[in-house]
Structure 1
Amino acid sequence: MEWFTAPGYALSRLVLLRLLAVVYLVGFLAAARQFRALIGEHGMLPVPRYLRYRTFREAPSLFQFGYSDRGFAALAWGGTLLAAAVTAGLADLVPLWGSMLLWALLWLLYLSIVNVGQTWYSFGWESLLLEAGFLAVFLGNTEVAPPVPVLFLFRWLLFRVEFGAGLIKLRGDRCWRDLTCLKYHHETQPMPGPLSWYFHHLPMPLHRVEVAANHLAQLGLPVLLFTPQPVASWAAGAMVVTQLWLIASGNFAWLNWLTIALAFGALRLPGAGHLATARAPLWYEVLVLAATALVLWLSYWPARNLLSRGQLMNYSFNRLHLVNTYGAFGSINRIRFEVVLEGTAEERLTAGTVWREYEFKGKPGDVRHRPGQYAPYHLRLDWLMWFAAISPVYARPWLRPFAERLLAGDRATLRLLRHNPFPDAPPAHVRAVLYRYRFTSRQERRASGAWWHRTRLRVYLAPMTRL
């Protein structure tokens, strides 16, 4: 079938798959470094307790056959090494069937983590990574030219990511329609980056331009992905530029980097003809067409969701995360709240008790500490702390267990933090306090050197003590 392959996209496929492998590497690395405190046997939301009430059908995972922290570590570090090998080109050094097995294994290993990760893995980019990884199984390696059906599916995935995000904004907060959302968003986003203070202080007309450009990128450009070249490449290239802008303005884990990778499914790079021109074997064509038919059949639910007034955001319609719906920031916070954890070594609490603060790696704490750049790495605890500040409902399952582990001086938990104010012995009491944060003005920044100004509001979690 001459129409089946597109040799001109061989270089684009190479870039797409290498970037995707890098994101898998980051995902497995974050899991390996953070799981013990979050979902380990003695974590805040232990996997064994979760699986006790979940069947394999409800939570398909290799851990259904038995869980141990040692086994999770082996899986996560094994996934890290495998992703690193694929990034280095292993999938192009093995036969076509071997390449497919490598990508299938990456998908299976990460699926096993996500399906037991509970609230720590409830972010849309987890499903996005899994869906992209499933498609990568069928994209082939340098033995064959890229298959047209799978390139189409990558465009369909990118379309849903961007168009879904655009629709959820238009249907959501009024500030997206009057072009004022970015007056607030750079300050109130989950995890500001090193340049977010500067983005926040852009003039209001530029904020309006930012919002208008966002609407164009998410509602106009995705439609052009399905047009002939070179228009599709221009649209994909413009989408890459908008993603780089988002990368500069904040930390959104690997969402933006993965979206850039997807864009290469439509961004045709020159000089690719020599990379892969061989005709695909029949068995491969059959598998690709079967996978394409499956994805198109499963696409009914996400497509219907896009047209629905009750549009769901970041939702998986199946436990394998094969075809999902995406979207982000349908509503924008006008005020930034932060939950600050504090401890004291004093056994008896009085009005004069001295409390010392724990510092997180990514979320705001010390007003003089400049926000850092962590994306594409995902600081899961820091992100959930942002949700906790919005409403205690988000923190109900894990905040008290978090405080209990601080009281116990749990090493795995403390490794998730930037600063432990009790390095020699755990505190006697731990509490949480709610603050209102805002970026300092230019004048305040020059005078004090602080990036933030904060106002104490109330105690968020009453003092807890060691039992």
Structure 2
Amino acid sequence: MDWFTAPEYWWSRLLFQRGLAAVYLLAFLVAANQFRALLGEHGLTPVPRFLARTPWRRAPSIFHLRYSDGLLTAVAWTGVAVSAALLVGVGDAVPLWAATAMWSLLWLLYLSIVNVGQLWYGFGWESLLLEAGFLAIFLGNARVGPPVAVLWLLRWLLFRLEFGAGLIKIRGDRCWRDLTCLYYHHETQPMPGPLSWWFHHLPRPLHRAEAAANHVTQLVVPFGLFLPQPFASAAAAVIIVTQLWLVASGNFSWLNWIAIILAASALDLSPLLGTGVAAAGPPWHQVLVFAAAALVIVLSYRPARNLVSRRQLMNFSFDPLHLVNTYGAFGSITKVRHEIVIEGTDESALGPQTVWREYGFKGKPGDPRRLPRQFAPYHLRLDWLMWFAAMSPLYAHPWLLDLVGRLLAGDRALLRLLRGNPFPDQPPTYVRALLYRYRFTTRAERRATGAWWHRTLVDEYLPPTALKHGVRSPHGP
């Protein structure tokens, strides 16, 4: 490593860039498949309505120039194409300026989507992707050595991600301090995966060991990233193993995978694979690297101060470009799982004998006999918001009523976000929502019933609702 480049991290940069390109590709695919139904011109929370009340300085986006569903589709598929090109190595085959332009384009396009995404894009991994994507612009390609300054900024990002998450837990729910949070978390997390049932049924001493290991990994290990090699590689390896454990235990979009590729950038693989190009980039590239490093250092003041604050903010951006952010997850743990079950009927009159058919979601729990699926790193935005809505109707305002209206109208774009349509021939006459308490079945219940979940009706969440003259109307006496 010299004062500007670190050729021993040539392979680590390769892993980081290819991994980040894969995450970008998935993120743009999610937008192409889901954005129109959720945020399009006729979506649940339309972008044009948001743009009419939001100035550009608060949410910079190319969509302030003009928004249309066609333009959004073009942006999303352009992002897919550029991401795929970088994933297969085009960025290393073109001149440095072209690779820099490709990474810049991805960042600009995804920033434009996130900044009009409202609550559907309010997750910490959106800012994480943008911050990592911004740094990737200055990493160069195979023609130059990895810039030392950018490599250190990647470690600073990983440190804030891990250490911020650890602090928010210690300062938050008491169960993190007494090591009991994982008695509940595998069952109550937003979207359990296919192995979550088994994780939940691990012996309680192992759950306590999981929680203790989490504290060590997030509060102690990140400091090792700033030590000389091989200690930095050892710290990165511990983080990678921990993140893979989280990947196996649930669905957390691409959060864990970005943490893994960030940790990969701190690995020194030169003893195994040798070093790459050591030459520094041309003067214009060096100037860009120094300018970006200076900007990130200046913008790091408030996120760094947030880490030591007793009022620590979680998943917060201090600037509308999401350049340096705060992170954290599960500062409090839900002890009881509630789920909203949406049902419809095609009967014209309601009564005790009315037959209701359930709408199934792709990821969130519904049918108790259905094994939870693995979707991450793909992100099911509607399923995640349904988890929040089950905790409080405030999280469902104003989109859930519009969701019901779209089901009553048989909206095809929205129905494509669901696992299936129980009314394939014509829309239902009434739709209602019920609130259930869900828990994983015990081993004995699983053997006896074949079900993964046990659910108990708690209350009516939304009364039977019909469309009258194109307007939702709750069923009355």
- Compute the TM-score of the two structures, normalised by the length of structure 1: 0.99
Using the TM superposition, name which of 416-425 and 437-446 deviates more: 416-425
CA distance in 2, matches of 1:402, 1:144: 51
Using the TM superposition, name which of 265-274 and 203-212 deviates more: 265-274
SS of the equivalent of 2:389 reads helix
- The Cα of 1:54 is off from its aligned counterpart by 1.2
Letter in 1 for 2:106: L
Deviations 1:376-398 (A, max 9, x none): 00000000000001111000121
> Against the structure 1 CA distance between its residues 375 and 278, is the aligned structure 2 distance closer, same or farther, given a 3 Å change threshold?
same
SS of the equivalent of 2:79 reads helix
Which residue pairs with 1:24 in the alignment? 24
User: In 1, are the aligned partners of 2:9 and 2:275 still within 8 Å (CA)?
Assistant: no
SS of the equivalent of 1:52 reads helix
> Against the structure 1 CA distance between its residues 174 and 274, is the aligned structure 2 distance closer, same or farther, given a 3 Å change threshold?
closer
Letter in 2 for 1:314: N
- The Cα of 1:461 is off from its aligned counterpart by 1.1
Which residue pairs with 1:144 in the alignment? 144
Alignment of 1:353-364 (within 5 A): 353-364=354-365
2:110 is the counterpart of 1:120: no
- The Cα of 1:353 is off from its aligned counterpart by 1.5
- The Cα of 1:265 is off from its aligned counterpart by 2.1
Which residue pairs with 1:281 in the alignment? 282
Letter in 2 for 1:218: Q
Which residue pairs with 1:390 in the alignment? 391
Alignment of 1:433-452 (within 5 A): 433-452=434-453
CA distance in 2, matches of 1:272, 1:69: 46
SS of the equivalent of 1:19 reads helix
Which residue pairs with 2:407 in the alignment? 406
Which residue pairs with 2:92 in the alignment? 92
CA distance in 1, matches of 2:71, 2:91: 25
Deviations 1:211-249 (A, max 9, x none): 011001100110110000000000000100000000000
- The Cα of 1:272 is off from its aligned counterpart by 4.9
- The Cα of 1:97 is off from its aligned counterpart by 1.1
User: In 2, are the aligned partners of 1:340 and 1:435 still within 8 Å (CA)?
Assistant: yes
- The Cα of 1:282 is off from its aligned counterpart by 2.0
Alignment of 1:308-387 (within 5 A): 308-387=309-388
Deviations 1:128-184 (A, max 9, x none): 000000000001101111011000000000000000000000000000000010010
Using the TM superposition, name which of 106-115 and 52-61 deviates more: 52-61
Letter in 2 for 1:217: T
User: In 2, are the aligned partners of 1:342 and 1:430 still within 8 Å (CA)?
Assistant: yes
Letter in 1 for 2:192: P
- The Cα of 1:267 is off from its aligned counterpart by 1.2
Letter in 2 for 1:147: P
- The Cα of 1:109 is off from its aligned counterpart by 0.3
- The Cα of 1:285 is off from its aligned counterpart by 1.4
Which residue pairs with 1:42 in the alignment? 42
User: In 1, are the aligned partners of 2:83 and 2:106 still within 8 Å (CA)?
Assistant: yes
- The Cα of 1:275 is off from its aligned counterpart by 2.8
User: In 1, are the aligned partners of 2:125 and 2:255 still within 8 Å (CA)?
Assistant: yes
- The Cα of 1:112 is off from its aligned counterpart by 0.5
- The Cα of 1:273 is off from its aligned counterpart by 4.2
SS of the equivalent of 2:43 reads coil
Using the TM superposition, name which of 50-59 and 379-388 deviates more: 50-59
Deviations 1:311-347 (A, max 9, x none): 0000000110000000000000110000011101112
Letter in 2 for 1:389: A
User: In 1, are the aligned partners of 2:5 and 2:279 still within 8 Å (CA)?
Assistant: no
Alignment of 1:227-306 (within 5 A): 227-270=227-270, 271-306=272-307
Letter in 2 for 1:84: A
User: In 2, are the aligned partners of 1:195 and 1:249 still within 8 Å (CA)?
Assistant: yes
Letter in 2 for 1:418: R
Root mean square deviation of aligned Cα: 1.0
Using the TM superposition, name which of 271-280 and 199-208 deviates more: 271-280
SS of the equivalent of 2:373 reads coil
User: In 2, are the aligned partners of 1:7 and 1:272 still within 8 Å (CA)?
Assistant: no
User: In 1, are the aligned partners of 2:11 and 2:275 still within 8 Å (CA)?
Assistant: no
- The Cα of 1:351 is off from its aligned counterpart by 2.3
- Compute the TM-score of the two structures, normalised by the length of structure 2: 0.97
CA distance in 2, matches of 1:267, 1:199: 29
Which residue pairs with 1:110 in the alignment? 110
CA distance in 2, matches of 1:376, 1:300: 31
User: In 2, are the aligned partners of 1:187 and 1:200 still within 8 Å (CA)?
Assistant: yes
Which 4+ runs in 1 deviate beyond 6 A? none
Using the TM superposition, name which of 271-280 and 207-216 deviates more: 271-280
Letter in 1 for 2:146: P
